[in-house]
Amino acid sequence: MGGKEHGTNHKEVRGSFRAVGLRYYGDDSDVVKMASKLWEQFNKRMSEVPGCAYGLMCTDIDPVSMEKWDYMVCIEVRNFKDIPEEMVEVEVPNKHMPFSLIKENWTN
């Protein structure tokens, strides 16, 4: 997949994909705690949807106040058939930017 470099050393990627998983939408003050809880819950249920796991931070956050976050722990899937109970689906757009988070970023 081709990409475009950004000033943040992250590369924009082209190519959409579908994913299924657990989602959190809520206050900024809870996002770290809730992301950890989502991963804990998801790790116990990963076998329900085989594939590669991702953490998605969607751009539905308010860019001015940064008060609400949309975070999803998910697995890429070919289609949205047989979605496990309490999981949701998302179509990641043709244009997205993957990046890595280091644990220290979440704990400091």
pLDDT tens by residue, 22-58: 888 877 777 778 888 888 888 888 888 877 677 776 6
- Among the residues of 1-108, which ranges form H helices? 31-45, 103-107
Domain ranges for the chain, please list them: 19-91
Q: How far is CA 50 from CA 64, 73, 106, in A?
A: 37, 13, 27
Residue 38 CB: number of other CB atoms within 10 A?
A: 19
Q: Which residue has the higher pLDDT, 48 or 101?
A: 48
* The two three-digit tokens of residue 65, written as one number: 């106040």
